[in-house]
Amino acid sequence: MGEGSPIFSRIQAAKKSTAELKQVCQTLPRPPLSLWDAEYACTSFVKQTTDIATNKLFFDF
């Protein structure tokens, strides 16, 4: 799984999105509803965000 592979890209995107979601949620008075493209419904992202107080809605057009 090299840097150019789709799996590597999804894992990197999940890490970045998780960090951003944590940062945003820390500034809010209550847990938000977060909306995500279906590409973020990968196992890596879901596992990384289990400890973040937010409801996640994944959509696919």
Long-range contacts of 49-53, Cβ-Cβ distance < 8 Å, separation of 24 or more: 49/18, 49/21, 52/18, 52/21, 52/22, 52/25, 53/25
In whole angstroms, give the CA distance from residue 30 to residue 51.
14
Structural domain including 33 reads: 6-59
Reported pTM? 0.77
Q: Are 54 and 34 within 8 A, CB to CB?
A: yes
Instruction: With respect to residue 29, please indicate whether it lies within any of the assigned structural domains.
Output: yes
Q: What is the pLDDT of residues 5-57, one digit of tens each?
A: 666 677 888 899 999 999 999 999 999 999 988 877 778 888 999 999 999 99
Does residue 1 lie within any of the structural domains?
no
Residue 33, in any domain of the structure? yes
**Residue at 22 is within a domain:** yes
Number of domains in the chain: 1
